[in-house]
Amino acid sequence: MEKIPALELKNISKKFGSKYANKGIDLKVYKGEILSILGENGSGKTTMLNMISGIYFPDEGQIYINGDAVTIASPNDAFRYRIGMIHQHFKLVDVFTATENIILGTEDEGKYDLKKYSKKVKEIADAYGFEIDPDKKIYEMSVSEKQTVEIIKVLYRGADILMLDEPTAVLTPQETRKLFDVLRRMKADGKAIIIITHKLHEVLDVSDKVAVLRKGAYIGTVNTPETNESQLTEMMVGQKVVLNIDRDDPVDPKDRLIVAHLNCFNHEGTKVLDDVTFTAKSGEILGIAGIAGSGQRELLETIAGLQPMVTGGVQYIDPATGKVEFLRDKTPQEIREMGIRLSFVPEDRLGMGLVGNMGTTDNMLLRSYLKGKGVFLQKEESRNLAEKVIRELDVVTPDAEFPVRRLSGGNVQKVLVGREIAAAPTVFMAAYPVRGLDINSSYVIYHLLNEQKKNGAAVIFVGEDLDVLLALSDRIVVIGSGTVTGIVDARTTTKEEVGLLMTKEVRKNA
């Protein structure tokens, strides 16, 4: 007798605008099984889970639960089919306690009694070895505590099918191990588990089967014991990656930016940068590697003057005069007025680097609108720059006034990078500049970074793909939990070495 899958997707498609986020997805997961969904950023993993959990509604296709065709039009429907989802961005009400969040949306017979629920929450937590204070407010919690709440929320509802969207991205290695123990325990309970991740070693570690998505399309499913990293990588990226990125030797590298003993706290008061020290040199690309959320964003934002530094400092050495300038407590405006051409391509392109509802021309103005005397804008220069960027970087847009929000990801990034390099920067920082970009656009960006290097800028490149980091950078600074765990020569190091440094246990001085 053939086993019936707990959950099956047949030919599921979903479009956003004119673009397919998911196209023809087929998927099966059985009880007592952990299925990993593997795919690069933007391959449609989250969209797929969102359709299963009723957040989005598929445009085409059919979902089956235990063999029955079902319609999941809302999260409520999903709960009815005992599907639980743990989102990457936590869906918690900040001003509620853990218990209040956990029981949210549930119904039960009898009196509404928070004490009773707290006790039940505690029981579940104890059973799986979680540590949690049921009466703590969410806004007082750390990230991993919040995730614990999310997981207990799903367990509380007695879900049979659990979906976790990149649960390990924000966890320390120990926390990840703990999470995987919980997952195995749930699997032993006969639950079907779907986990999204793009870390291969985790996939091999925890799952029974791996399904691979690429650019919204379903590529295939393999049994974990029968596969290996290179096969999975190949399925994920298409053909074997032979990165053909040029790398010239740095010409006359000189110290340009000296970052010394930098400490920084985030809004919640947790230390996100811990005594970070490194030097960026002219004419070289300095790669920054690390697990997502290890402090990369804060590092760049601190240098750019967007976040206050608690202690430590940043020194800039003027290439023309050799004069040393201190960037501590300077706003972006002040840095610009000091004559320092520091360009920064932030991670959040439309939310920070650009204004989505403005056209290319007006976005070019962001850096230069104060130029010229008087109260009026001098648009001419920006218009020319916009035309130039569109022409030289092959930005696909109807015209320079077309809102950049409606451009595709690659074109958005070209506009942003095009603007940032236009100032002929002496320091060029880019955070995840190729995230979500297709291969062609990515190469355009690599080329532009190399060009900046050739022009003598100190390029700081925060990346997530180790292959790219190794192929493009001259040196790599590895960051783990806000501290520098190692600085390596990109020409001689190996992926394994960097990977180890990324997850290296670091001394914790609280």
CB distance 248 to 453 below 8 Å: yes
Q: How far is the CB of 72 from another protein (least distance, A)?
A: 9
Q: How far is the CB of 416 from another protein (least distance, A)?
A: 11
CB distance 459 to 452 below 8 Å: yes
Nearer Cβ to another protein (215/336)? 336
| Residue 92, SS3 per DSSP | coil
List residues bridging with 164 in a β-sheet. Answer: 86, 195
| Residue ranges in 317-346 that form contacts with another protein under rule CB under 8 A | 331-336, 344, 346
Nearer Cβ to another protein (93/251)? 93
* Binding of residue 348 to another protein (CB under 8 A): yes
Look up residue 325 and give its amino acid: E
Nearer Cβ to another protein (73/500)? 73
Query: How far from 48 is each of 90, 331, 382, 427, 440, CA to CA, in Å?
Result: 17, 42, 40, 40, 25
User: Distance (Å, rounded) from C-alpha 436 to C-alpha 161?
Assistant: 29
* Binding of residue 304 to another protein (CB under 8 A): yes
User: Distance (Å, rounded) from C-alpha 270 to C-alpha 289?
Assistant: 21
Determine which residue in the list 44, 216, 253, 305 makes contact with another protein, applying CB under 8 A: 305
Nearer Cβ to another protein (33/150)? 150
Tokens of 116: 């009773």
Rounded to 10 deg, the angle between the 409-422 and 439-454 helix axes is 10
User: Distance (Å, rounded) from C-alpha 433 to C-alpha 5?
Assistant: 40
Q: How far is the CB of 361 from another protein (least distance, A)?
A: 11
* Binding of residue 18 to another protein (CB under 8 A): yes
Tell me which stretch binds another protein (CB under 8 A): 193-201, 373-381, 407-415, 427-435: 373-381
Nearer Cβ to another protein (78/262)? 78
Determine which residue in the list 12, 35, 78, 163 makes contact with another protein, applying CB under 8 A: 78
Q: How far is the CB of 250 from another protein (least distance, A)?
A: 29
User: Distance (Å, rounded) from C-alpha 335 to C-alpha 474?
Assistant: 27
User: Distance (Å, rounded) from C-alpha 21 to C-alpha 18?
Assistant: 9
Q: Taken in order 113, 117, 119, 120, is the CA torsion positive or negative?
A: positive
Determine which residue in the list 13, 36, 53, 282 makes contact with another protein, applying CB under 8 A: 53
User: Distance (Å, rounded) from C-alpha 292 to C-alpha 269?
Assistant: 19
| Binding track over 96-135 against another protein, x by CB under 8 A | x---xx-xxx-x----x-----------------------
Determine which residue in the list 200, 222, 355, 487 makes contact with another protein, applying CB under 8 A: 355
E-assigned strand segments in 332-374: 342-345
Q: Which residues would be at the binding site for another protein (CB under 8 A)?
A: 16-18, 53, 55-57, 69-71, 73-79, 85, 87, 91-96, 100-101, 103-105, 107, 112, 137, 139, 153, 304-306, 331-336, 344, 346, 348, 351-358, 362, 365-367, 369-370, 375-377, 406
